[in-house]
Amino acid sequence: MMLGVVQGLTEFLPVSSSGHLVVVETAFGLPTPGVLVEVVLHVGTLLAVFVVYRKRLWQLIAGACRGDRGEWRYVGLLAIGTVPAALVGSLLTGWIERVFESLIAVGIDFILTAIILWSTRWVRPASAAEPSSMAAGGIGVAQALALFPGISRSGSTIAAATWLGVEPVKAAEYSFLLAIPAIAGAGLQQVPSLSTDALSVGLGSLTLGFLVALASGIFAIRALVVLLKWGCFHRFAPYCFTLGAVTLAWELLA
């Protein structure tokens, strides 16, 4: 249940879900949850995006089926934004997995996330409803950086989108829709590792974890959109900086 809350909240709030999972597992001495649990939590957070953005997704699907050029363009922008993370994930899998074992790397990445978030204080007011093709590529590169634990996917992509001229709430929409292939891909990548031993986790625990991840994910998305409207996005920076500093101190002084 704890991992479900952590996964759901931190997947969409700009504080890095992967970094939090590493820190929580280490701090509380929790065993690695196992592939089946990770897949279930990923499905829960993925469904949260579908629930919150169901109208926009239906609009995209219906428009694409009608041949609407605007909707097809947006689908293309999502495809462009997906490519960098897919390439980095496939080429650097081993290196990224080793980073998950280093609290020093995680602490540094939390501080990098803090810098990224704080930088949005100086973004000029933007009004674009969607990124350009080149901007979508830049946002995709920001998403690729978030494959490393401690760098927030939502934080880096929304910050990049706003810096590239997209209105904050629309930047969040693009970021969360971009999360669909990212989260689905991460889950599918783990499916081959499933085994019958994973069933020993228990259906009740899996269901609870799924529901908690779903509910907390929905809450996190809606809360972040409200905070973007209030201009409070950068206020997550002190939290990420503090967590990064504490993580580094814990590892270096232990």
CA distances from 149 to 50, 58, 93 (A): 24, 32, 13
pLDDT higher than 50, residue 197: no
For 105-149, how does the pLDDT look when each residue is reduced to its tens digit (9 = 90+)? 999 999 999 999 999 999 887 789 999 999 999 999 999 999 898
Question: Does 19 reside within a domain?
Answer: yes
Residue type, 155: G
Question: Does 197 reside within a domain?
Answer: no
Give, for 227, the enclosing helix (H) or strand (E): helix 203-229
Q: Does the predicted model carry a pTM greater than 0.85?
A: yes
Contact 194, 169 (CB under 8 A): no
Question: Does 128 reside within a domain?
Answer: yes
Question: Does 239 reside within a domain?
Answer: yes
How far is it, in rounded angstroms, from Cα 118 to Cα 105?
A: 20
Question: Does 77 reside within a domain?
Answer: yes
For 203-250, how does the pLDDT look when each residue is reduced to its tens digit (9 = 90+)? 777 788 889 889 999 999 999 999 999 999 999 999 999 999 999 998
How many structural domains compose the chain?
1
pLDDT higher than 60, residue 61: yes
pLDDT at 165: 93
Q: Is the dihedral of CA 198, 203, 205, 208 positive or negative?
A: positive
Question: Does 134 reside within a domain?
Answer: yes
Domain that holds residue 183: 2-192+202-253
Question: Does 90 reside within a domain?
Answer: yes
Question: Does 177 reside within a domain?
Answer: yes
83: closest CA among 167, 37, 144?
A: 144
